[in-house]
């Protein structure tokens, strides 16, 4: 098997044993990027020199007899361009930050470096993580390696496409309303949203602070678990970081891979089926549920009645927080500045810069949020949405009294064509219908490939949700399903 098609776990084992060098593995992926990324456009910035230097440092340590810095030391990774990196630009897919080089690394970036993971570069994304298709990037859309005319999901489409195109064995995404899980589903990869607060947000450029969560993306459940344990954990620099040990996700993934789910109670969410769900997605999901039963799981239908209000609640809460967070991009301190000719007032420079620097979707959400927070409307809109958020959290609490995990399709359809929903924001927002409740409640969720749609031959995702700080439960179920069903990604078309 060629280097680029091997799992991260296998590559790490071969690097640590000396069978392969990290430089060799890194160069193979850089070559792959050079070969296919002009078609896929997964990357906004490739740091070949820095990656090879980091890889050589790992090889030198191994040659000197030092123990690897982590179980994934020497393995390459693609990093979503929303985490600060002092040696590479951080643009968030926006003209507002074009060329900006941060003076510091995000905590997640630092943990990757300390673990000996080789950062290949920064991946494309919907501007400031606002979107479900990676069409909102100021630098052009990313394309799905399964069909280059289709979207790779969003906002982290660059991270998912890099995996599906074998440009990287690991990647990092962020999930505010599904931006790790939905791209995972439509590209046939694994995407994990850890419990909110389980991975530090320090250095993650904020979209919606009460919802944003960084997480691992990979082609196998075990690879995601290995990465999760490296990036997770308490960070005193993040006031929302949970001061508790990272759940034993690697142990759970290895246990699940043995293929026995006896005693595990799986809840099927009644509200996530029916009208609006593609037939091929529904059939693939039902087949996955049958597979879980065959592995010994007890399957129970569970009702979460307030989930149907998650989408409108989210699109009041997230834009409100985005309106506040993006006020910092004011042309005064860093980033883009236009009309700075002495003939315009500071207010005019600010207004003209924001007009030129932000794309249409970002402006739409800023305006929605500003309106929802305005005097006379705060209680009616933002306040009411927060009440719905409480009801959704209560639905999860009641459901997890009956079952260990919940399952649903990750997204109602397979990957749609680029441009198909560009002029219909509501149709675009519906892509996150199933993923948003977990963000509102702050609990853990992941997407694992569950076959191909019998309608169009494109990947379908199985979403598995677990209570807060019980991330290990979903890894066990996902690994058991993966072992029984086989991974979709090996059947991805060659570019």
Closest CA to 47 of 112, 96, 133, 95: 112
Q: Which two tokens stand for residue 252?
A: 């759970």
Q: Indicate if 293 belongs to the active site.
A: no
Per-residue DSSP letter, 4: G
Residue 341 pLDDT greater than 90, yes or no = no
Strand order through the sheet with 298-302: 43-46, 118-123, 76-80, 170-174, 214-218, 190-193, 444-452, 459-466, 405-409, 265-269, 298-302
Torsion of CA 233, 238, 244, 250, to 10 degrees: -20
Q: Are 76 and 26 spatial neighbours (Cβ–Cβ below 8 Å)?
A: yes
Per-residue DSSP letter, 198: S
Q: Are 120 and 47 spatial neighbours (Cβ–Cβ below 8 Å)?
A: yes
**Which residue out of 14, 80, 111, 193 is catalytically annotated?**
80
Residue 16 pLDDT greater than 80, yes or no = yes
**Which residue out of 22, 94, 133, 155 is catalytically annotated?**
155
- pLDDT reported for residue 376: 87
How do the domains of the chain map onto residue ranges? 3-267+289-299+401-491
- pLDDT reported for residue 126: 98
pLDDT, tens digit (0-9, with 9 covering 90-100), for 222-281: 999 999 999 999 999 999 999 999 999 999 999 999 999 999 999 999 999 877 899 999
**Which residue out of 179, 273, 447, 453 is catalytically annotated?**
179
Enter the pTM of the model.
0.97
d(CA 372, CA 382): 6
pLDDT, tens digit (0-9, with 9 covering 90-100), for 390-426: 999 999 999 999 999 999 999 999 999 999 998 888 8
Please give the CATH superfamily to which domain 3-267+289-299+401-491 belongs: Amidase signature (AS) domain (3.90.1300.10)
- Rg over CA atoms, the chain: 21
Q: What is the average pLDDT score of the chain?
A: 96
Closest CA to 463 of 272, 254, 222: 272
How far is Cα of residue 436 from the mean position of the Cα atoms in its chain?
A: 13
- Residue 92 makes CB contacts below 8 A (sequence gap 6+) with 81, 82, 125, 127, 128, 129, 205
Give 276-337 as a 3 state SS string. CCCHHHHHHHHHHHHHHHHCCCEEEEECCHHHHHHHHHHHHHHHHHHHHHHHHCCCCCCCCC
Q: Indicate if 80 belongs to the active site.
A: yes
Q: Indicate if 447 belongs to the active site.
A: no
- pLDDT reported for residue 35: 97
């Amino acid at each position: 098997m060629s280097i680029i098609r091997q799992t991260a776990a296998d590559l790490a084992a071969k690097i640590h044993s000396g069978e392969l060098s990290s430089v060799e593995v890194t160069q193979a992926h850089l070559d792959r990027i050079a070969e296919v990324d002009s078609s896929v456009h997964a990357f906004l910035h490739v740091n070949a020199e820095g990656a090879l230097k980091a890889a050589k440092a790992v090889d030198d340590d191994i040659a000197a007899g030092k123990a690897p810095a982590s179980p994934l030391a020497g393995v390459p990774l693609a990093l979503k361009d929303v985490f600060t990196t002092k040696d590479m630009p951080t643009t968030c897919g926006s003209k507002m930050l074009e060329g900006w080089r941060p003076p510091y690394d995000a905590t997640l970036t630092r943990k990757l470096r300390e673990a000996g993971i080789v950062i290949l570069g920064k991946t494309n994304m919907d501007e400031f993580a606002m979107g479900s298709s990676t069409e909102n990037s100021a630098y052009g859309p990313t394309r799905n390696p399964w069909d280059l005319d289709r979207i790779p999901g969003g906002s982290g489409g660059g991270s998912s496409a890099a995996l599906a195109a074998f440009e990287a064995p690991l990647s990092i995404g962020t999930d505010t309303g599904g931006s790790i899980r939905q791209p995972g589903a439509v590209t046939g990869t694994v995407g994990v949203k850890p419990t909110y607060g389980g991975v530090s947000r320090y250095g993650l450029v904020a979209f919606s602070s009460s919802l944003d969560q960084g997480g691992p993306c990979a082609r196998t459940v075990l690879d995601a678990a290995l990465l999760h344990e490296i990036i997770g954990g308490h960070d005193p620099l993040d006031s929302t970081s949970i001061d508790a040990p990272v759940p034993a996700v690697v142990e759970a993934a290895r246990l699940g891979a043995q293929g026995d789910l006896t005693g595990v109670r799986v809840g099927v969410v009644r509200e996530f089926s029916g009208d609006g769900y593609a037939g091929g997605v529904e059939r693939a999901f039902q087949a996955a549920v049958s597979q879980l039963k065959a592995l010994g799981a007890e399957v129970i239908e569970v009702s979460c009645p307030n989930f149907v209000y998650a989408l409108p609640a989210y699109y009041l809460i997230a834009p409100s927080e985005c309106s506040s967070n993006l006020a910092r991009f004011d042309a005064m301190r860093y980033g883009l500045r236009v009309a700075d000719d002495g003939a315009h007032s500071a207010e005019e420079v600010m207004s003209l810069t924001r007009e030129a620097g932000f794309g249409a979707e970002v402006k739409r959400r800023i305006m929605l949020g500003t309106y929802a927070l305005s005097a006379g409307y705060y209680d009616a809109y933002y306040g009411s949405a927060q009440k719905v958020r409480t009801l959704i959290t209560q639905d999860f609490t009641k459901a997890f009294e009956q079952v260990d995990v919940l399952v649903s399709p990750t997204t109602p359809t397979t990957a749609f064509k680029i441009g198909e929903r560009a002029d219909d924001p509501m149709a675009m927002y519906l892509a996150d219908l199933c993923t948003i409740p977990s963000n509102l409640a702050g609990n853990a969720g992941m997407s694992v490939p569950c076959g191909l749609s019998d309608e169009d031959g494109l990947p379908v995702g199985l979403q598995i949700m677990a209570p807060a700080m019980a991330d290990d439960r979903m890894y066990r179920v996902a690994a058991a399903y993966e072992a029984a069903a086989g991974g979709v990604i090996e059947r991805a078309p060659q570019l």
